[in-house]
């Protein structure tokens, strides 16, 4: 998995053996951010990432420099 665009484009996350984790694929992130890029100017928005899991979507937003990012996840394990 990697950051697909922005300030940290190309950064690769170390892969760990986590069979329960289902990280957002690069293809899904690219589709999401292609839509958002045409609608919003990232430097002017605040981001709330609910059910963030590994936080990779929040980190993708971070690479695009919004004014604020909040990532929330709840896991008892």
Cα 71 from chain centroid (whole Å) = 10
Give residue-wise pLDDT tens across range 43-52: 888 999 998 8
State the CATH number of the domain containing residue 69: 3.40.50.150
Residue 64 inside a domain? The answer is yes
Residue 32 inside a domain? The answer is yes
Pairwise CA distance, residues 38 & 4, whole Å: 16
Enclosing domain of residue 5: 1-14+24-77
Low-confidence ranges of the chain (pLDDT < 70): 76-77
- The per-residue pLDDT for 42 is 83
Pairwise CA distance, residues 58 & 34, whole Å: 15
Residue 19 inside a domain? The answer is no
Kindly state the tokens that stand for 32: 């999401």
- The per-residue pLDDT for 76 is 64
Is the whole model's pTM more than 0.85, yes or no?
A: no
Split into its structural domains, the chain has a count of 1
Residue reference for tokens 């002017």: 44
- The per-residue pLDDT for 71 is 92
Pairwise CA distance, residues 16 & 72, whole Å: 21
């Amino acid at each position: 998995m990697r950051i697909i665009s922005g300030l940290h484009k190309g950064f690769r996350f170390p892969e760990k053996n986590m069979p329960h984790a289902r990280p957002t694929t690069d293809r899904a992130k690219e589709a999401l951010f292609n839509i958002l890029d045409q609608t919003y100017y990232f430097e002017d928005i605040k981001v709330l990432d609910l059910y963030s899991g590994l936080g990779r979507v929040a980190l993708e937003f971070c690479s695009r420099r919004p004014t604020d990012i909040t990532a929330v996840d709840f896991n008892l394990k």
